[in-house]
Structure 1
Amino acid sequence: MVNQSRSERDRRVGVLLHPTALPDSPVCGSFGRPAREWIKALAGHGVSVWQILPLAPPDGTGSPYSSPSSFALNPWLLDAEDLAEESFLASSALESLPGADAKAEATSVLDFQLADARASALGRALAAHWPQQSSSRKQQFERWRVDQTHWLTDHVNFVVLRDQHNGLPWWSWPHPLAVQQPAALAQWRLHHGEALLEQELLQWHLDRQWQRLRVQARDLNIEILGDLPFYVARDSADVWSHRSLFSIAADGRLRLQSGVPPDYFSETGQLWGTPVYSWARHRRTGFRWWRNRLKRQWRLADRLRLDHFRALAGFWAVPGDDDTAQNGEWQRSPGHELLRLLRRDAGGTLPIVAEDLGVITPDVERLRDRFRLPGMKVLQFAFDGNPRNPYLPCNIKGRRWVVYTGTHDNPTTIGWWQRLDESSRRQVGELLGCHVEAPGWQLMELGMATSAELVVSPLQDLLHLDDQARFNTPGTVGGNWCWRMGAFDEALQGALKGYGERAATWGR
C-alpha cells in the first residue's frame, strides 16, 4: 500500500485514465515516459489517486474486461524506447517496428491491429537480441520466471497455441492440446521454444516497467487504484488451464453462464457468456486460484475496484445454451469465506472498492459493510426527480464511499448533460444554486460537498470533452476503448491544477 503522508481523515481526489489513453507515444500509451510524465503531473498538482482499468491483454474488441488472461499484462503497453535505452533492443530495431513512422501527437485514436502488430514485432526483436544480454540479466529473468510460474507457463502456452491455430478458441484445437494432455503439451513445447520465449520476455519487461512506475508513484504519494473484472473470459488461459474451477465442459460448452436478471432496463436481462465459478471446487482448493489472482493484482495496484461485487453474495446463473438471461436463477456465493481469506492475505485490511452499482440487495450491503469496503456512487445516476435516489449527494452519508462524476462506461459528463431532460437539468441547477456552465466540474464539486473519502473524475470531464471522447458504450461493438488524450499541454496542466486546488480546500 502507498505510505500516505496525509492524515487518515483527509479526503482525496483522483483521475480515471487508462494507460492506453496516454499521449506522446506511437500507436498506444505506454509504461514508459508518457506514464512517468502523467504521474509527475498528478503529484505536481495535488491529485493523489490514479485510477486505471484492468491492465490485462484485451479481447478482439479492445476490452480489458474480457481478457485471455487474469494475470498477464497488455503487451501494447510495453515501451520500446525504454527497452532500447537499456540495450534490451538494438536502436535500429525501433525503426522497423509497426507504427514507427507515426507521429505520437497525431495518434488520437488507438488502432488495435497496429498495436497487436507492434507488440508481436517487439516480442520477436527482444528474443532475437536476448543471446547478447548479460548473464546477470538472464539470471534476473529466470528468477522472475520461476516466481511467476503459477500463471506464466499457462499464459504463454495459451497465447502461442491460439496464434498457431489462427485465433480459434481453445476448444477448437486438437483434443490433446485442448484438454492439456501433459505428454502432448510437453512435446509441443519442445518445438516452440522461441515463440514461448518471446511471450515470456514481453511479460517480464512489462512487469519491470510497471514496477518502476509503482516505485515512482509511491515516492510521489500517488495511490494506484486498479480494477478487477469478476468473471473471466470463456476463451482464456485461466479457463483452459483450470477448467474444473468453472462451469464449462471439456468441449468448451457452457454448463452455466453469467449475467443479470430482467429488470427495468431490459426485459430479457443481460447475458455475458462467461462461465460462472464452480464454487464447491474453489472451496476444496482453499480458493487458491482466487488468492493467487488477488496477490498478483495487489502487486500491480494499491487498491482494486472489484467489478460486479454483488456476485460475491449471490450470482445469476443461466443455463449454458440459453440466449437470454430470463431463465437464470440466483445461487449463493461463498463471498464471506473468500473475503476473509483475502483479508488475511492482505495483512488484515482489505484494499478493495466494491462496485455496488445497480439493484443491490441487503445481503450485498451487509457483505460490503462487514469488511468495511467503500462502495461507489455515480453522480450521473442521481437526477431522476426522486428525493431518495441513493446517488444524490445529500443521500451519500459517511466516508466509506468513492464518488464519481461518471465511469468508463458512462458518457462524458458533457455528453450526459447534452442529452439530459429539462427537469433533471433544473434539479442539478437547484442543487448547485447556480447556472450550470461546466457540468463535469460542477458535478465534481457536488461530489466534494459529500463526506466521501475519495472523489474520482474521468480525465475527459476535467477537459470538458464531449462524447467523441467517450471510452466505452456498453452493449455496442466498435468505437470503444480507443480514445487517447491529445498531449501533455497547457489545457491538461490547467485542468489538473484547478482540480488539485479545489481538493486542497475541500471541507474547509
Structure 2
Amino acid sequence: MQLRSSGILLHISSLPSDCGIGDLGPEAYAFARFLERTGQRIWQMLPLTPTSTDSWNDPYHSISAFAGNPLLISPERLKNSGWLSSEEFSSMPDFPKEHVDFEAVTAWKGELFRTAFSRFTAREHPDYALFCSRNAGWLNDFALFAALGKELKAPWYEWPSGLRDRNVTACEHAREELAQNITYEKFLQWLFDQQWRALKRFCNERNIQIFGDMPIYVDHNSADLWCRPDEWQLDEKRQPTGMAGVPPDYFSETGQLWESPLYDWDAMKDTGFAWWQKRIFRNLDLFDILRIDHFRGLIAYWDVPAGEKTALNGKWVEAPFQDLFDSLYSRQSSLPLVAEDLGVITPDVREAMQRYDLPGMKILQFAFGPDLPQNLYAPHNIPRHALVYTGTHDNLPTRGWFEDEADSETKTRLAAYLGHEASAESISWEMIRLAMLSHANTAISPMQDLLSLDGARRMNSPGTLSGNWTWRMLPAALTPELEARLHQLTVLSGRHGPERPTTHSPASSQGTTP
C-alpha cells in the first residue's frame, strides 16, 4: 500500500451476468481488463464467504469464516470445463439485470450444481484430493455442518444433543449416512477455489491486487461456533449471553445490533488465538490485501445483553488486542492489513493502529461538516498512509448522498471547497477527483460513483436487514467514454504507475482463464 495507486470497489455479485448474479465468469475477467486499461491497481470487494436467504443474503453473515460462496461459481465456466451442457441452460429464468433475485438464483444454480456433481468422480480429479487435503483443517467440519444443516433444516444449536455437542459416535454416524452430501459440499468448495484462484492469478498477472474484506464476527449458526462453542460467550444451551453491535452512530440513532455472538477472549487466548490465526492467514491466502471490518471491536467491543431489541443498552468491554496481534505478527513480520476505523474512534484504537502500522480509511462524504478546516476526512488533512474513499458499500452512492442526505450548509461548504457549485449530475466525479488528487497513497471509488448512480443503487443500509446486497451493474456500463475519463484522471493524479510487482497466491488447484 506504499505506492500511489487507485482502485474500484465492486463486489463479485454486482457484476453483470446472464445467470442472475455476478460470478467468477467472463464478466469478472472483463472487469479485470477494464481495471488494467484504466490504470487501476486494486479491485476491492466484500467477503467471499457463503451467503444465505436465511441470513438476508448478507456477506457479513455467514455459516463459515473459511468457506467460499457457491453462488459466485460461474455456470458458464462449468460449461466450458465440461461439467454442464448447453441444453442445461435452457431452463434459465429471465433474471432481472439490475438486481439479484437471491431466491431464484439459489434455486436455479443449485439444480445446475447438482447436475455437475452427478458427473463428478473424485478419483478422476487429483486436484480435488489435493484441495481437500490442503484445506482439511476447516473443510471436513464445514462439509459435515453444511450437510447436517440441510438434512435437519435447523440451526446447529437445535440439533439432537449428540450432534449439537459433537459427540464422536454421533458425528461418525452422520458422516456415513450423509457421505454423498458431504462430498457434494466439498465439490462446491473445490469448484469455487478453482475459479477464484484462476481469477486472482489473472488479476495479479496484470498488476491488480485483490483487496478483500473480513467481518469481525461470525454468525451464531456457523460451523465455527459448532466446532468451537467454548470460544464464544454461550450458555449451557448454546445460546448467546451477549450480542455484538455498535452504539448510536452516523448510521443509526439506536445503534446497530448484529445478532452475532461475542468472543470469549480468555478462552481464545488460552489456545494461542489458534482460530484467529487460521482465519487471518486463510484470508491472506485468498486476498493480497485484507480489510478488518469494525476494527475497533478488537480493542474494545460493544456488549449488548441477550434479548435486547436495540443496541442502546450495551457497554464497552476491552479485548486482548495486543496479545492477538503479537501472535499474528510472530508468524509473519509484515501483514497487508487495513483497519476499518470509521465511527467514534478513541485514542486506544489510534495507538493500536500506529503500533502495527495499520492504515485506516477516510470517507469524503464525512468531510464537509462545520469543522471542515480541521476535519480528518477533508482531502487536505488526509495522510499518505490512509486509504481515501468517496464512500463505501455502507454509504449512499455519492449522488444519492448529495441529493438525499447533504443539507444546504454542507453543500455550501462543499461548493466553497471545490471553488464552484456542484450538481447532482457532476458531484460523483467531483468527489472522485478530490480523492484521486489527495495525498493518500490509495484512492478507492465504489463503482456506483463512477457511474454517477443515485441512492436507489445503494448496496447496504446499516441497521436494516432487508433490501440490501442486491445491486448489479448493467452489462453495457463500462463504456469507452467512462474508460477514457477514468484513465485520464488516474494518469493526471499520478496513480497509474510505477508498475507493481506481480504477486501470486499459492496454487491449491489449477485453473485456466477464458
Shorter-chain TM-score above 0.5: yes
CA contact (8 A) 1:47 1:496 kept: no
- CA deviations over 1:251-272 (Å, ceiling 9, x no partner): 2311222122356876654322
Spell out, residue by residue over 1:214-267, the C-alpha distance to the aligned partner (whole angstroms, 9 max, x if none): 110110000111000001111111111111111113423112221223568766
1:74 equivalenced with 2:69 (yes/no):
yes
Say if 2:169 is the partner of 1:176: no
Contact 2:5-2:441 within 8 A present in 1 as well: yes
Residue 332 in 1 paired to residue 318 in 2? yes
Partner of 2:388: 403
Identify the range of structure 1 (209-218 vs 270-279) with the bigger mean alpha-carbon deviation. 270-279
Distance 1:217 1:244 in 2: 40
The one-letter amino acid of 1:365's match is R
1:110 and 2:96 equivalent? Answer: no
Secondary structure of the corresponding residue to residue 194 of structure 1: helix
Q: Name 1:354's counterpart in structure 2.
A: 339
Alignment of 1:157 onto 2:144: yes
Distance 1:250 1:84, change over 3 A: farther
Q: Find the counterpart in structure 2 of residue 314 from structure 1.
A: 300
SS in 2 for 1:29: coil
What are the superposed Cα offsets for residues 367-426 of structure 1, whole Å, 9 maximum, x if unpaired?
A: 011111110011111112113222122222x21111110110111111111122111111
Distance 1:263 1:474, change over 3 A: closer
- What secondary structure, in the 3-state scheme, does the structure 2 residue paired with 1:50 have? strand
- Output one character per residue of 1:6-43: Cα deviation in whole Å (capped at 9) or x when no partner: xx854111101000011133111111111111111110
Contact kept? 2:250, 2:343, Cα under 8 Å: no
Q: Which residue of 1 aligns with 2:37?
A: 44
What SS does the corresponding residue of 1:311 show, helix, strand or coil? helix
Match of 1:465 among 445, 449, 453: 453
Report whether the alignment pairs 1:476 with 2:469. no
Q: Structure 1 residues 168-177 or 226-235, which shifts more? A: 168-177
Residue 380 of structure 1 is aligned with which of 352, 361, 365? 365
The answer to whether the aligner puts 1:227 opposite 2:220 as a matched pair is: no
- Indicate whether 1:368 and 2:356 are aligned: no
* CA 507–142 in structure 1, closer or farther in 2 if over 3 Å, else same: closer
2:229·2:238 contact (CA, 8 Å) conserved in 1?
no
Q: How does 1:234-253 map to 2 (within 5 A)?
A: 234-253=220-239
For residues 288 and 359 of structure 1, what CA distance do their matches in structure 2 show?
30
- Residue 449 in structure 1 maps to residue 444 in structure 2: no
Q: Map 1:296-315 onto structure 2 (within 5 A).
A: 296-315=282-301
Task: For residue 486 of structure 2, give the secondary structure of its aligned residue in structure 1.
Answer: helix
Unaligned runs of 5+ in 2: 496-514
Count of residues in correspondence between the two structures = 489
Separation of aligned partners in 2, 1:223 and 1:435 = 36
Amino acid aligned to 1:181? N
Between stretches 368-377 and 432-441, larger displacement belongs to 432-441
Residue equivalent to 1:62: 57
Give distance in 2, aligned partners of 1:370 and 1:321.
37
Per-residue deviation, 1:288? 0.9
CA contact (8 A) 1:226 1:301 kept: yes
Is 2:364–2:435's contact at 8 Å kept on the other side of the alignment? yes
3-state SS in 2 of match to 1:130: coil
Alignment of 1:418 with 2:413, yes or no, is no
1:25 maps to: 18
Question: Is 2:126 the partner of 1:127?
Answer: no
Q: Judging changes above 3 Å, is the alpha-carbon distance between structure 1 residues 488 and 291 closer, same or farther for their aligned structure 2 residues?
A: farther
Distance 2:186 2:363 in 1: 39
Distance 1:299 1:468, change over 3 A: same
Q: 1:326 to 1:35 in 2, by over 3 A?
A: same
Q: Which moved more, 1:312-321 or 1:109-118?
A: 312-321
Q: What SS does the corresponding residue of 2:434 show, helix, strand or coil? A: helix
Q: Partner amino acid for 1:318?
A: V
Runs of 4+ with >4 A deviation: 262-268
Q: Is the 8 A contact 1:171 1:250 kept in 2?
A: no
- Distance in 2, matches of 1:90 and 1:426, equals 59
After superposition, the C-alpha distances for 1:428-466 in whole angstroms (9 at most, x for unaligned) are 111111231311111111122321111111001011111
Q: Does 1:13 find its partner at 2:3?
A: no
| Alpha-carbon offset, residue 357 of structure 1 | 0.4
The reply on whether 1:207 has 2:193 as its aligned counterpart is yes
Contact kept, 8 Å, 2:220 with 2:261, in 1: the verdict is yes
1:102 deviates by 2.9
For 2:483 and 2:460, how far apart are their aligned partners in 1?
Answer: 23
Question: Does the 8 Å contact 1:470/1:483 carry over to 2?
Answer: yes
Q: CA deviation at 1:340?
A: 2.4
Whether contact under 8 Å (1:179, 1:250) holds in the other structure is no
Q: Which moved more, 1:360-369 or 1:75-84?
A: 75-84
Give, in whole Å, the separation in 1 of the partners of 2:74 and 2:15.
Answer: 12
One-letter amino acid of the structure 1 residue matched with residue 460 of structure 2: N
Structure with more contact order per residue of length (Cα contacts < 8 Å, sep ≥ 6): 2
Q: Is the 8 A contact 1:377 1:403 kept in 2?
A: yes
Question: Deviations for 1:178-209, whole angstroms, at most 9, x for unmatched residues?
Answer: 11111111111211111111111111010110
Q: Per the alignment, in what secondary structure is the counterpart of residue 483 of structure 1?
A: coil
CA distance in 2, matches of 1:227, 1:313: 18
CA contact (8 A) 2:380 2:439 kept: no
Aligned with 1:499 (options 465, 486, 491): 486
Sequence identity, in percent? 37
Conserved in 2, the CA contact under 8 Å of 1:319 and 1:327?
yes
- Kept in 2, the 8 Å contact 1:62–1:481? The answer is yes
2:120 counterpart SS class? helix
Question: What CA distance in whole angstroms lies between the structure 1 residues aligned with 2:357 and 2:441?
Answer: 13
d(CA) in 2 for partners of 1:127, 1:473:
37
Q: 1:245 to 1:494 in 2, by over 3 A?
A: farther
Give, in whole Å, the separation in 2 of the partners of 1:250 and 1:286. 24
**Contact 2:83 / 2:119 at 8 angstroms: preserved in 1?**
yes
Q: Distance in 2 between matches of 1:490 and 1:350?
A: 33
1:56 positional shift: 0.9
Question: Quick one: structure 1 residues 428 and 507, their matched pair in 2 at CA, closer, same or farther if it must change by over 3 Å?
Answer: farther
Counterpart AA for 1:406: G
Comparing 470-479 and 51-60, the one that deviates more: 470-479
